[in-house]
Amino acid sequence: MASNSDTILVIGHRNPDMDAIASAMGYTYLLNTTGTGAYTAGRTGEVNAQTRFALEKFGMQPPPLVADVWAHVGDLAEAVPSLRKGQTLLEACQLIARTRRPAPILDNASPVGLLTGASLFSKFVEALSSDSLLKLATELSRPVESAVDPAGTVLLAGERVRDVVGQALRSDQDEFLVLDENGKYVGLCRKSALLAPVRRKLVMVDHNELTQAVSGLEEAELVEVLDHHRLGNVPTSVPIRFHVDPVGSCSTLVTERALDMSKSFPASLAGILLCGILSDTLVFRSPTTTPRDRAVATQLGQMAGLDGEAGIEELGQALLAAGAGLGMRTGSEIINTDLKYYDQGGIKAGIAQVEVASFGEISPRLDDLKSALGSLAASQKLGLALLMVTDVVRGNSRLVVEGQPRIISALPYARLDDETLDAPGVVSRKKQLLPAVLAAISEVV
């Protein structure tokens, strides 16, 4: 199996929605057919209800969870051969001569210490300076643990390189024992590797802003962006392939690229990509929908074996129903399921979206939602924390807001008796709500 350094990660935004998961899976499949490298899909958050429905329907597994792309000590560890407690120093000499590396000493996978050439030689100095072969033979027969320096620095595989490199530089060691979270031996890490760790290569899909990207992006090597959102792109040190196009779904762009290459997708993956389009366009009712989305959806429906437009519509309605409703989730869970951050003039806003079948769901949960938004605003230092509650049946939204009063009052929406804001006809966070939010923030900056 290829290691992280051998593969290029294809990943969507934090708190991934259906389109972020679908476009990562679809683009990974497509890129792997080109023969230009090895790609693997990832996700930087839990899958939501819609995505779970789609994956189960089409019999697919979600991409692996990638918490961050920081360089970790474990990424640099090499599985150097070890010695067991009780083996002789003669065996240690033979192993070190063969590997040209220090020898880890283990006791049932638990480390006793590290045996280096220098510590080994120090055991033989007196014997080598005498004429007694018996004395040398006696030293060579001693157990390996007798020559270990127990004061050596040990690193944990899960530690970030940036957090331990200073400690490593202050150490006289050139190599360090690396242990897992259970204290078991993983390998050795060279000091030189800590100073210049290999950067993880990745492709961003369905986003291009640092605030929405997987943690640690600044230490990774971004090689490509495929997206359909506003520009807020991450700076790069070299030119990269960068494609942003105003369509309703990133899954549309993935599929168009495949069709341009005269390639198709397996039926199950075509179904997932179709769900990405249906979700992001609210089954073509969102103002972000373009003729290109509809055309691509038709072709994906054929690949997936659906029964024409009726089959696509049926899938779309089932998909929206699977993700609609506040349910028994806490206010925090509702907000964090689909949350994106934006920055305007130094003021940060967090905008979440949830879909319901009726606004009647809001009233009994309003206090909980406002409390969760207030906590989010405080913890993330937001000027505005907003939950967009979208009625997918009628195509309207209500806004639950917390934050700076001047920003809230500048929003162009009527305040209702329950202090939510009425946003009739607004269903798209990207195309309809976000420009209004950013304009309101600009008024107070």
pTM of the predicted model as reported, rounded to 2 decimal places: 0.85
Question: Where in the chain is CATH 3.10.310.20?
Answer: 331-444
Question: Where in the chain is CATH 3.10.580.10?
Answer: 74-195
Sheet holding 241-244, edge to edge: 39-42, 8-11, 201-205, 221-227, 241-244
Question: Where in the chain is CATH 3.90.1640.10?
Answer: 4-69+200-323
Q: What CATH number was assigned to the domain covering residues 331-444?
A: 3.10.310.20
In the chain, what is the straight-line distance between the N-terminal and C-terminal CA atoms, in Å? 51
Q: Average pLDDT of the chain?
A: 93
Q: Class of 4-69+200-323 per CATH? A: alpha beta
Q: What is the DSSP string of 386-402?
A: EEEEEETTTTEEEEEEE
Q: What is the largest CA-CA distance in the chain?
A: 99
Q: What count of Cα atoms within 13 Å lies in the side-chain half-sphere of residue 187?
A: 12
CA distance readout (Å), 93 to 90, 188, 340, 382: 5, 18, 57, 61
- Residue 187, phi-psi category: left (phi > 0), alpha (psi -120 to 50), beta (remainder): left
How far apart are alpha carbons 300 and 309 in whole angstroms? Answer: 11
Query: 35-49: per-residue pLDDT in tens?
Result: 888 999 999 999 999
How far apart are alpha carbons 351 and 386 in whole angstroms? Answer: 5
Sorting pLDDT into bands at 50, 70 and 90, what band is 151? low
Instruction: Evaluate whether 227 touches 273 at the Cβ level (below 8 Å).
Output: no
Residue 411: name the closest of 349, 335, 331, 332 by CA: 349
The CATH fold of domain 74-195 = CBS-domain (3.10.580)
Query: 157-198: per-residue pLDDT in tens?
Result: 999 999 999 998 998 889 999 999 999 999 999 999 999 998
Instruction: Evaluate whether 155 touches 176 at the Cβ level (below 8 Å).
Output: yes
Residue 365: name the closest of 335, 408, 339 by CA: 335
